[in-house]
A and B are shown apart, each in its own frame.
Chain A
Amino acid sequence: MSQPQDNPLLNGLWKENPTFVQVLGMCPTLAVTNSVRNALAMGLATTFVLVCSNGLISMIRHQVPKQVRIATYIAIAATAVTVTDYVVKAISIDIYKALGPFLALIVVNCIILARAEAFAAKNSVGRSLMDGLGNGLGFTLGLTLLGTVREVLGAGSFLGLSLFGPHFEPWVLFLLPPGGFITLAAWLLIFAWYKERKTKPAPSAQDLLDARS
């Protein structure tokens, strides 16, 4: 997967962005991005869990028998999640309520397991920490981009600050679940398009047809 000379931090943040490239962790991505604040909180909570679990798992990677590794990863992630859960509750009960069950569900967020299995179990502690941080921040970036679109259109505000004044007509749809799907699809489209343009001079549909025939 990742080459040794790659920078794991930048990889997770951009090149293998969990939301837009790996398309992992879709459940919280769709569920808690109806405001920038919730998206940021969710992203940072996940980042903390990722860094902890990646670091710990990498540390004990030679001691854990192969047969029980998944259970070990889950137990480690669950520990970090419990800590996060209490910390968020202590900082802001509002955010805690808004995130609801999704905070506890970070345990089974596939990004955690994917990074543990694909990276932390095979790499040194330092690189695993960087990978956890990169992926966590990449996830935060993804959630915040979604949250920005949904909050700006759905409530006319950014981080709770009103942008368009009191007469703004909210696009109700964007606060509802369909808005999450539409926004995610739009961002994925933009990223895919950007990547395609970067890798080769934009092929037209005619070229694609020719290539196929």
Chain B
Amino acid sequence: MTTETTTILEVRSSPHLHGPLSVDKIMRNVVYALLPLAAFAIWNFGLSAALLLTITTATCILTEHAGCRLSGNRSTVNDWSATITGLLLGLALPPGYPLWMAVVGGLIAIAPGKLLFGGLGSNVFNPALVGRAFLQAAFPVAISTYTPAGLANRFTEFIPTTLTAPLMKPAAMLDAFTSATPLVMLKFDHLYSDPWPMFWGQRSGSSGEMPGFLILLCGAYLVARKMMDWRITAAMLAGAIATATLFHLANPQAYPDAIFTLFTGGLLFGATFMATDPVASPVTPRGMWIYGILMGFLTVLIRNVGGLPEGVMYAILLGNALSPLIDKLTPPRPYGARKPAGAK
């Protein structure tokens, strides 16, 4: 097929008109939308968050470049997707996360999570979450050690665990540097926190997951530019709210209300930036609703019934795994087509 031919008449299948949007343009805008979150993370956690985000992004880009070269292909770094994966991974890790583990996470996210499946467009799971799930399974302690936001010396000193030597255990942290997330406090100490201050980003957690208002704003930017489908986010949040309300009504003592569920953990961040991965999510509008609601339901189910305080990551990975099936079950009806007689 590589022989040169003079094109006299080009016959192609539809679509014939191409919009101005291209993959790298969309991806670039997702990077823009993530930058305010990165800035907020750095403002909250200082040097450690800045270095963490730099390292995860650099690892992802380098892995993608090296992987493409090793398989004898043109490097696909320019489509910005590896940058997004790196930023998402960094934003989903605790701010004081040891850097050498972050490098492992970036390698796993891109090499097996994306390149082995065939690169952008073929990955079954959101690569950043593949990396994070690996880290959660490999180093369960480090990923559940959180730092309070806004420490006084955050711009002059690193969080001690950040600079752990490669392959070594992070040093046990002083109490001043650790702080349980609201979800952990609820699950293990039965302490309820007021959700509204959390919406403005005042809590501990993964470096980029806290500023709810900013996440929604950045998501709205992508939706307004038609670069992201709002249905998945809306469906996931709706599913989570409905499930949380049912749990709360059944037993108000044990289970938190919907507002708390919404503003804690990575639900807003995951629903806006992770679940909407255009490759690993369904493409039909009906499928998107099913997919989103399912993930919202699973998130709350894992939080309330499971052993882990947070369930967004596994909920999204399960949703990713189901999305080809959902697509298959929800084919759109072609324009003008009728249901065949006798079909349900």
* Interface-lining segment among A9-17, A59-67, A118-126, A171-179: A171-179
B249 within 8 A of A: no
Q: Is the CB–CB distance between A168 and B168 below 8 Å? A: yes
Among B68-115, those with CB < 8 Å from A are 71-73, 101, 112
Q: Is the CB–CB distance between A169 and B137 below 8 Å? A: no
Please measure, in the bound complex, the distance between the C-alpha atom of A168 and the C-alpha atom of B168, giving whole angstroms: 4
Range of interface residues on chain A?
20 to 34
Contact with A along B166-187 (1 / 0, CB 8 A): 0111100000000000000000
B9 within 8 A of A: no
B138 within 8 A of A: yes
Q: Is the CB–CB distance between B138 and A172 below 8 Å? A: yes
Closest to B72 in A: A204
Q: Is the CB–CB distance between B137 and A167 below 8 Å? A: no
Q: Is the CB–CB distance between B138 and A168 below 8 Å? A: no
Interface core residue of B2, B72, B164, B167 (most chain A CB under 10 Å): B167
Q: B134 is contacted by which of A168, A173, A176, A202 (Cβ under 8 Å)?
A: A173
Q: Is the CB–CB distance between A171 and B139 below 8 Å? A: yes
Nearest Cβ distance between residue A131 and chain B, in whole angstroms?
Answer: 34
A205 within 8 A of B: yes
B305 contacts which chain A residues (CB < 8 A)?
none
B11 within 8 A of A: no
B140 contacts which chain A residues (CB < 8 A)?
172
Q: Is the CB–CB distance between B73 and A164 below 8 Å? A: no
Nearest Cβ distance between residue A52 and chain B, in whole angstroms?
Answer: 40
Interface core residue of B71, B138, B142, B164 (most chain A CB under 10 Å): B138
Q: A171 is contacted by which of B2, B112, B138 (Cβ under 8 Å)?
A: B138
B152 contacts which chain A residues (CB < 8 A)?
none
Q: Is the CB–CB distance between A173 and B138 below 8 Å? A: yes
Please measure, in the bound complex, the distance between the C-alpha atom of A164 and the C-alpha atom of B100, giving whole angstroms: 15
A2 within 8 A of B: no
Q: A178 is contacted by which of B1, B72, B137 (Cβ under 8 Å)?
A: B137
Contact with B along A165-207 (1 / 0, CB 8 A): 0011101111010100010000001000000000000111110
Q: Is the CB–CB distance between B169 and A205 below 8 Å? A: no
A204 contacts which chain B residues (CB < 8 A)?
71-73
Q: Is the CB–CB distance between A164 and B167 below 8 Å? A: yes
Please measure, in the bound complex, the distance between the C-alpha atom of A162 and the C-alpha atom of B165, giving whole angstroms: 17
A213 contacts which chain B residues (CB < 8 A)?
1
Q: Is the CB–CB distance between A168 and B167 below 8 Å? A: yes
Contact with A along B1-16 (1 / 0, CB 8 A): 1100000000000000
Among B1-39, those with CB < 8 Å from A are 1-2
B112 contacts which chain A residues (CB < 8 A)?
182
A210 within 8 A of B: yes
Nearest Cβ distance between residue A168 and chain B, in whole angstroms?
Answer: 6
A205 contacts which chain B residues (CB < 8 A)?
71-73
Please measure, in the bound complex, the distance between the C-alpha atom of A206 and the C-alpha atom of B72, giving whole angstroms: 8
Please measure, in the bound complex, the distance between the C-alpha atom of A94 and the C-alpha atom of B101, giving whole angstroms: 33
Q: Is the CB–CB distance between B167 and A210 below 8 Å? A: no
Q: Is the CB–CB distance between A202 and B72 below 8 Å? A: yes
Q: Known interface pairs A202-B72, A206-B73, A210-B2. Does A173 touch B137 (Cβ–Cβ under 8 Å)?
A: yes
Nearest Cβ distance between residue B171 and chain A, in whole angstroms?
Answer: 9
A173 contacts which chain B residues (CB < 8 A)?
134, 137-138
A206 contacts which chain B residues (CB < 8 A)?
72-73
Please measure, in the bound complex, the distance between the C-alpha atom of A168 and the C-alpha atom of B165, giving whole angstroms: 10
Closest to B119 in A: A205
Q: A167-B168, A204-B71 are in contact. List 18 more A-B contacts (CB 8 A).
A: A164-B167, A164-B168, A167-B169, A169-B142, A169-B164, A169-B167, A172-B137, A172-B138, A172-B139, A172-B140, A174-B138, A182-B112, A189-B116, A202-B72, A204-B72, A204-B73, A205-B71, A206-B72
- 17 interchain pairs, CB-CB under 8 A: A156-B167, A167-B169, A168-B167, A168-B168, A168-B169, A169-B101, A171-B139, A172-B138, A173-B137, A173-B138, A174-B138, A178-B137, A204-B71, A204-B72, A204-B73, A210-B1, A213-B1
Residues on B lying within 8 angstroms of A by beta carbon are 1-2, 71-73, 101, 112, 116, 134, 137-140, 142, 164-165, 167-170
> Which 3 A-B pairs have CB atoms at the shortest separation, nearest pair first?
A204-B72, A173-B138, A169-B169
Residues on A lying within 8 angstroms of B by beta carbon are 156, 164, 167-169, 171-174, 176, 178, 182, 189, 202-206, 210, 213
